Amino acid sequence: MSDATPPTIVITGASDGIGAAAGRQLATAGATVVFVGRSPEKTRAVAEPFGADYYLADFTRLDEVRQLATALTEKYDRIDVLANNAGGMFSGPTLTPDGFEKTFQVNHLAPVLLTNLLIDKLIDSRAAVINTASIAARLYGKVKLDDLNNWREFNPNTAYGNAKLANILFTGGLHERFHAQGISTVAFHPGFIATNFASDTNSRLQYVYRTALKVFLTSAEQGGARLRHFIEGQPNADWLSGRYYGSTKRIRRTHKQACDPDLVREHWRRSADMLGIRW
C-alpha closest to that of 271 among 99, 164, 113: 113
Long-range contacts of 149-154 (CB under 8 A, 24+ apart): 149/93, 149/100, 149/101, 149/104, 150/93, 150/101, 150/103, 150/104, 151/93, 151/101, 154/92, 154/93, 154/101
CA gap 185, 242 in Å, rounded: 5
CA gap 114, 79 in Å, rounded: 13
- Which residues contact residue 74 at a Cβ distance below 8 angstroms, ignoring those fewer than 6 apart? none
Q: In what order do the strands lie in the sheet with 81-84?
A: 54-56, 32-37, 8-11, 81-84, 128-132, 184-188, 244-245
User: Mind telling me the catalytic residues?
Assistant: 160
